[in-house]
Amino acid sequence: MTVQKTALAGAILSALVATPLVAQTEIKIGYALAPDSHYGVAAERWQEVVEERTDGRFTFRHFPSSGLGGEREVIEGVQLGTVEATIVSSGTLANFVAETGVFDIPFLFRDLGHARRVLDGPIGQDILEMFDAEGLVALAWGEQGFRHITNNRNQIGNPGDISGMRLRTMENPIHLTAFQTLGAAPTPMAWPEVIGALQQGTIDGQENPLSVIVSASLNDVQQYLTISGHVYSPAMLLVSPMVWEGMSEEDQQIFREAAAEAVVAMRGFVDNVEESGLETLRERGMDVAELSAEDRAAFQEALAPAYEEYYTTYDRDLIDAIIATE
Ligand code: PAF
């Protein structure tokens, strides 16, 4: 009996020595889309790199598909520390740091490369730093692609075609001004309500990049897709200061590097879906049309009064510097 007890105590002791107790911090990460979306892929990569390089001291728990609520609520949770991390669109970011709204100006970026260079360069990085003062740690810019319009009313070729259209926009003042100026009837709405509103017909359409249209299967509830590319849609990787301030500098660096790798994965996903998305959506039965350069110019012309408003909100030099970025 005594021999058995001694053996048991010895076994427990060697198990404890072999597996020292390591404090683990759980990172609850919330995002609006499915695990197989660009957000899911980025969150997965963020997790892999952090877990591997911190030897499991941090673990991730995913809340995809708006599992923690709309993007505004999740960002507020990150501020409060009830959510440790998120990947969000620029939808509500201008309500936290007004300067982010400059990237939401329609037809500002020429292509994905232009947008990525601005966001990864001093202009984008300066804006990331502004989030510190709002109780948010903004680690990197990600992206969704260029936004396009889907609806159930008619195909779109010129600004007149969206006249009176009940179009869901993000809760984003820049987008709202644009669609009001174009004569649509924009309805700002949090993403979790959108599919239901489209199904019930309380709105005619919405606008989002191919990454979202494909991964959220908007073809199930929308007939027409117009490749309008009217605005670039950035995303952001945010961490709560509550968890950030408790980390060593080394771990903060690992989180930064992992976020950069997550962005590579997200942009890779977007590149792929920009290539294949149109065909996928045609195959799924959508009526797809693309605005020509002249059509896009007509939209830009119709937006002239909105641009006047943007120039009073944002520094003209900043807008010019963005446009001039090679
Ligand atoms: O349209 C939006 O609100 C956003 O693009 C979405 C789909 C939530 C992804 O961030």
237 by Cβ neighbours in 10 Å (0-12 / 13-18 / 19+) ranks as buried
Q: 32 CB less than 6 Å from ligand 1?
A: yes
What pTM does this model have? 0.93
In the predicted structure, residue 75 carries a pLDDT above the cut 50: yes
**Residue 285: pLDDT above 80?**
yes
Residue 212: its pLDDT value, please?
A: 98
- Expressed in angstroms and rounded, the spacing between residue 84 Cα and the centre of ligand 1 is 20
Amino acid found at 128: L
Q: What is the pLDDT of residues 290-314, one digit of tens each?
A: 999 999 999 999 999 999 999 999 9
| Secondary structure (DSSP) of 3-41 | HHHHHHHHHHHHHHHHS-----EEEEEE-SS-TTSHHHH
User: Would you state the pLDDT for residue 7?
Assistant: 53
* CATH 3.40.50.170 is the classification of domain 23-324: no
Residue with tokens 């446009």: 323
Mean pLDDT of 154-158: 98
Taking CB atoms within 8 Å and a gap of at least 24, the contacts of 57-60 are 57/22, 57/23, 57/24, 57/25, 57/251, 58/24, 58/25, 58/26, 58/27, 58/251, 59/24, 59/25, 59/26, 59/27, 60/26, 60/27, 60/29, 60/85
Distance 324 CA to ligand 1 centre (A): 28
Cβ 235 vs Cβ 144: under 8 Å? yes
% helix, strand, coil for the chain, step of 5: 55, 20, 25
* Helix orientation angle between 122-130 and 112-120, rounded to the nearest 10 degrees: 60
Poorest-confidence range of 5-9, 195-199, 266-270? 5-9
For 282, the token pair is 């045609």
For ligand 1, is residue 191 a contact (CB within 6 Å)?
A: yes
Sequence-separated (6 or more) residues with CB below 8 Å from residue 23: 57
231 lines ligand 1 (CB under 6 A): no
Ligand 1, atom nearest to 88 Cα: 10
**In the block, which residue shows the tokens 């984003």?**
172
What's the angle, vertex CA 198, arms to CA 310 and CA 271, rounded to 5? 60
Which residues, in sequence order, are CB contacts of 18 under 8 Å at separation 6+?
Answer: none
Average pLDDT over residues 264-291: 98
> Per-residue pLDDT tens for 222-240?
999 999 999 999 999 999 9
pLDDT of residue 16: 47
Q: How confident is the model at residue 170 (pLDDT cuts 50, 70, 90)?
A: very high
Element (H, E) at 321: helix 316-324
Mean pLDDT of all residues belonging to the chain: 94
Nearest one of 114, 151, 125 to 226, comparing CA atoms: 151
* Atom 3 of ligand 1: nearest residue by CA position: 191
The fraction of the chain above a pLDDT of 70, given in percent, is: 94
Q: What's the pLDDT tens digit per position in 3-19?
A: 455 555 555 445 444 55
Which of the four pLDDT bands, split at 50, 70 and 90, describes residue 23? confident
Task: Determine contact, residues 26/61, Cβ cutoff 8 Å.
Answer: yes
As a whole-number percent, the residues of the chain with pLDDT over 90 amount to 93
Going from the C-alpha of 84 to that of each of 23, 94, 95, 267, 306, the distances in angstroms are 16, 20, 20, 23, 37
DSSP state of 170: -
Residue whose entry in the numeric block shows the structure tokens 């404090």: 23
| Mean pLDDT value across residues 25-49 | 98
Mean pLDDT in residue range 21-44? 94
Strand partners, 290: 227
Mode of pairing for the β-strands spanning 58-63 and 25-30: parallel
Q: What is the pLDDT of residue 5?
A: 53
Whole-angstrom distance, CA of residue 260 vs CA of residue 237: 9
Higher pLDDT among residues 321 and 3, named by residue: 321
Q: What pLDDT score was predicted for residue 13?
A: 47
Per-residue pLDDT tens digits for 91-113 = 999 999 999 999 999 999 999 99
Mean pLDDT in residue range 73-85: 98
State which amino acid sits at residue 174. I
156 CA to middle of ligand 1, Å?
A: 22
Determine the residue of 141, 171, 172, 191 to mutate for testing ligand 1's pocket, defined as the one with the most ligand atoms within 8 A of the Cβ atom: 191
